[in-house]
Amino acid sequence: MYDFLIVGAGFAGSTLAERLASQMGKKVLLVDKRTHIGGNAYDCYDDAGVLIHKYGPHIFHTNSRMVFDYLDQFTKWRQYQHRVLASVDGQLVPIPINLDTINSLYGLNLSSLDVDKFFASMAEKREQIRTSEDVVVSKVGRELYEKFFRGYTRKQWGLDPSDLDASVTARVPTRTNRDARYFTDAYQAMPLHGFTRMFGNMLSHENISVMLNTDYRDVKGYIPYKCMIYTGPVDEYFDNRFGKLPYRSLRFEFQTHDTETYQSAPVINYPNDFAYTRVTEFKYLTGQKHPKTTLVYEYSQADGDPYYPIPRPENAEIYRQYHELANAEPNVHFAGRLATYKYYNMDQVVAQALTLFNKIAEKEKNGSAVVYAGNGNGNGHAVNGNGNGNGHSHKNGNGNGNGSRSEITKVLKREILRR
Ligand SMILES: Cc1cc2nc3c(=O)[nH]c(=O)nc-3n(C[C@H](O)[C@H](O)[C@H](O)COP(=O)(O)OP(=O)(O)OC[C@H]3O[C@@H](n4cnc5c(N)ncnc54)[C@H](O)[C@@H]3O)c2cc1C
């Protein structure tokens, strides 16, 4: 009998698994339908031996000491300050827009004081800030909006900024100094040996079993557990009964080159040219020394894996209905970006998971009864779970869904720990 069945081995699921196992001695089964741990932060070595981020570049940054200290237990770090250039008017200039961006683009020699006046002279007065276009134009004017924001937003969202809610671009970070760092958080660092290794360390506790290549719906019916933590898409959990929550997706195209470095910055944004939005060269992020280098080109698209929730009022309304159901679901906690239909950075997801853990621990300390949820019969809304574990398969192909649960988890756990 597991105390917790956790769905999803990303930051949300892995943090909760680790805390519940190490701090409360809970027995945890962590399942993920992918063939690996780490969720979207998963990294791995490509065929050339270059460490890449399979689901797009992930850079860790946080202002939360609590989150940093928590993850610090599972990895050594490499100090890393992220930098991004934008390709505009045939030049590569720093983004967020800073003093150097303006001086390079306009061939000026402004000081920090002058550049503030420059932005003010460009800005257009808007009575009401309703759309993303209003946010940018009212701060830096139409010309910079056209050069840096409009094309990028159209590619990213498939919508013109004038059709996107102001919240999408709540703030336009511009700097009057020469600070070219992309983030200004207090903690900016990358796990020294990559994210996946860090996840491996988080999940190495003996109370945690990991099952990969497994949709929870295929096993939920025959694995007894007391409580579930669900970090998958909330609409899928409720069989899309209010409709599918819309997401913007991405296609990643990886290119390896026979040279140590290929481009002049970790990330180059292309607001106006080409079909892709940005190109990332991983070795800048990872610090890996290697004679070859791999880059990823990102193409935004409507269909595919869910990446960015689309922030429109009608979608918020659909989510509100799912949220109500989720709140009423007995013995299931919903956590992470997909279960709460929000774009969160990694540190925010860890913070959310730690908060949920504290709530669970507090509840148990206060003696609240935990009702037995799993009955081996796939109660509730199980889609495929029918008490027989049909349809279950895993990486080694030696789990048949009817085989012994402990055998399957042991094999998978060995697989994970081998990494
Ligand atoms: C392109 C891109 C770049 C990003 N870059 C950054 C960055 O630079 N810095 C930063 O801080 N954040 C970044 N993020 C955000 C970061 O990816 C998220 O904060 C983080 O991955 C969220 O973790 P999670 O555990 O909530 O979700 P996930 O990592 O998505 O984990 C959820 C897991 O649940 C599993 N799952 C879903 N349904 C089922 C099911 N039915 N059965 C079993 N398993 C299931 C999924 O396979 C998945 O592995 C980026 C996001 C994107 C899209």
Query: Which of 190, 214, 231 maximizes ligand 1 atoms within 8 Å of its Cβ, making it the mutation to test the pocket?
Result: 231
Percent of residues in the chain assigned helix, strand, coil, to nearest 5: 35, 20, 45
Phi, psi of 294, rounded to the nearest 5 degrees? -125, 140
Question: Which residue's alpha carbon is nearest to atom 41 within ligand 1?
Answer: 215
pTM equals 0.88
Ligand 1 atom nearest to 348, measured from its CA: 19
pLDDT tens for each residue of 197-225: 999 999 999 999 999 999 999 999 999 99
Model pLDDT, residue 366: 87
Closest atom of ligand 1 to 11 CA is: 25
101 has pLDDT over 80: yes
Q: What is the pLDDT of residues 320-333, one digit of tens each?
A: 999 999 999 999 99
pLDDT category of residue 167 using cuts at 50, 70 and 90: confident
What pLDDT score was predicted for residue 40? 98
Task: Return the best residue to mutate from 54, 346, 354, 394 for the ligand 1 pocket (most ligand atoms within 8 A of CB).
Answer: 346
| 3-state DSSP assignment of residue 376 | coil
Q: Which residue has the tokens 């106006």?
A: 272
Q: In sequence order, what are the residues at sequence separation of 6 or more whose Cβ sits closer than 8 angstroms to the Cβ of residue 203?
A: 9, 14, 17, 18, 30, 37, 210, 416
For the four alpha carbons of 271, 273, 278 and 283, in that order, the dihedral sign comes to negative
Q: Is the predicted pLDDT of residue 388 greater than 90, yes or no?
A: no
Average pLDDT of the chain? 88
Residue nearest to atom 15 of ligand 1 (CA): 345
Tell me the pLDDT band of 368, cut-offs 50, 70 and 90: low
pLDDT for 326 equals: 98
SS (HEC) of 116-181: HHHHHHHCCCCCCCCEHHHHHHHHHHHHHHHHHHHHHHHHHHCCCHHHCEHHHHCCCCCCCCCCCE
Report CA(41)–ligand 1 centroid distance (Å): 6
What does the angle CA 52 – CA 56 – CA 62 come to, to the nearest 5 degrees?
100
Mean pLDDT across 17-30: 98
Any residues with Cβ below 6 Å from ligand 1, and which?
A: 7-13, 31-34, 39-41, 56-59, 215-217, 231-232, 250, 307, 336-338, 344-347, 349
Give 45-68 as a DSSP string.
E-TTS-EEETTS----EES-HHHH
Give distance in angstroms: CA of 367 to centre of ligand 1.
33
pLDDT at 415 over 50: no
Q: Quick one: average pLDDT of 131-157?
A: 94
The closest alpha carbon to 266, from 99, 47, 59, 61, belongs to 59
- Looking at residues 138-163, what average pLDDT do you find? 93
H helix count then E strand count, the chain: 13, 17
